[in-house]
Amino acid sequence: MVYLASSDLVPKALAGDTRAIARLLTRAESGSAEARPAFDELFRHTGRAHIVGITGVPGSGKSTLVARLAAAIRAGGRKVAIVAIDPSSPFSGGAILGDRIRMGELGGDPGVFVRSMATRGSMGGLARGALEAVDVFDAAGYDIVLIETVGVGQDEVDIARAAHTTVVVSAPGLGDDIQAIKAGILEIADVHVVSKCDRADADKTIADLKNMLMLGLASARGTWRPQVVPTSAVRDEGVQELLTMIDRHREALAASGEIDARCAAIAERRLLAAGEEILRDRFVRDRHGRLAGLLAQLARRSLSPHSAATLLIAELGENA
């Protein structure tokens, strides 16, 4: 396989070439400097796809739901891409599970593209990589991009919030610890899914959610009222209703003009994430220079982390 410069991959990806898309996704994940101009260029071609974040606590059944939702989108004739964020080792930086092959029913259909991404090594890069992967799919003409995250941890929540529509998946019968985590993500939902509604205790989960929404404890941004969609993978129910609700949300954002505010918020978050990554890169590059001296002062406790960081940023700006 010939190595192609990232910039040469861009026109191919824009034309929908899946091999070019796959290579760009790999470079989005690794965050290579060589690919930087290519992603800048790709970004100019984004803005058409509807981006849907799907998040939920462990055990909520969101992976099954995502697969079925993708199938329903395809059945309606639209192209769909999935960016799935995997838990992985913070030390190795690699995905332990590897790319998950779990979209069997969709295999061989060029209108579906599934990409698993590792959660990255120490501090950051995950949001940037995942959102650049979304850019690739958006620019390449996928109509809907689903971002699946596990819904625990700030990175994952940030990624879910970088979507036009955020779906939070709940399930009946989870433990107390899980419920506590769940509380942290309910408020970001535009659409709530209660999965496993074949279970007898699902009614209580649905009622609890609806009560919470009535009390305004989890009212979403703007004029849209978050909706609850029950689903059951066992009974094959609710997925079409979920897709309809996602489309309704997209239309409501457009009709009210709120889509502009939401895109502006996403842009601000992405700008900030990019800034943090630039800062990290420069820190690492400077590890044996000024950084080493500051670290020695930290070790002697003659400088605090905050004071040291202030000094370093001032210098980085001067040398930018």
> What is the β-pairing status of strands 80-86 and 112-118?
parallel
- Cβ-contact 227, 247 below 8 angstroms: no
Phi and psi dihedrals of 276, rounded to 5?
Answer: -65, -35
Residue numbers 143-182 binding its own copies by CB under 8 A:
150, 152-158, 161, 175, 177-178, 180-181
Name the residue among 141, 140, 179, 170 with its Cα closest to residue 54: 170
The residue from 30, 211, 223, 302 that contacts its own copies (CB under 8 A) is 302
Report the nearest approach of its own copies to the CB of residue 52 (Å). 18
Token pair of 105 as six digits = 């029913």
Size of the site for its own copies (CB under 8 A): 88
Residue numbers 88-127 binding its own copies by CB under 8 A:
88-92, 96-97, 119-120, 122-124, 126
Q: How far is CA 313 from CA 270, 293, 309, 320, in A?
A: 20, 14, 6, 10
Check binding of 138 to its own copies (CB under 8 A). no
Name the residue among 195, 170, 175 with its Cα closest to residue 185: 170
The residue from 7, 22, 71, 87 that contacts its own copies (CB under 8 A) is 87
The residue from 2, 77, 216, 318 that contacts its own copies (CB under 8 A) is 318
The residue from 34, 40, 99, 251 that contacts its own copies (CB under 8 A) is 40
Residue numbers 179-238 binding its own copies by CB under 8 A:
180-181, 183-188
CB nearer to its own copies: give 251 or 260: 260
Hey, is 188 helix, strand or coil?
coil
The residue from 274, 286, 290, 293 that contacts its own copies (CB under 8 A) is 274
Residue numbers 254-273 binding its own copies by CB under 8 A:
260, 263-264, 267-273
CB nearer to its own copies: give 16 or 121: 121
CB nearer to its own copies: give 181 or 233: 181
Report the nearest approach of its own copies to the CB of residue 108 (Å). 26
Q: Report DSSP state, residue 226.
A: P
Report the nearest approach of its own copies to the CB of residue 229 (Å). 21
**Sequence-ordered list of residues with C-beta below 8 angstroms from that of 46, at least 6 positions apart, any chain:** 135, 138, 139
CB nearer to its own copies: give 51 or 243: 51
SS (H, E, C) 34-82: HHHHHHHHHHHCCCCCEEEEEEECCCCCHHHHHHHHHHHHHHCCCCEEE
CB nearer to its own copies: give 4 or 272: 272
Report the nearest approach of its own copies to the CB of residue 58 (Å). 4
The residue from 20, 25, 28, 39 that contacts its own copies (CB under 8 A) is 39
Interhelix angle 6-14/36-44, rounded to 10 degrees, is 20
Phi and psi dihedrals of 38, rounded to 5?
Answer: -65, -40
Residue numbers 18-37 binding its own copies by CB under 8 A:
36
- Cβ-contact 32, 60 below 8 angstroms: no
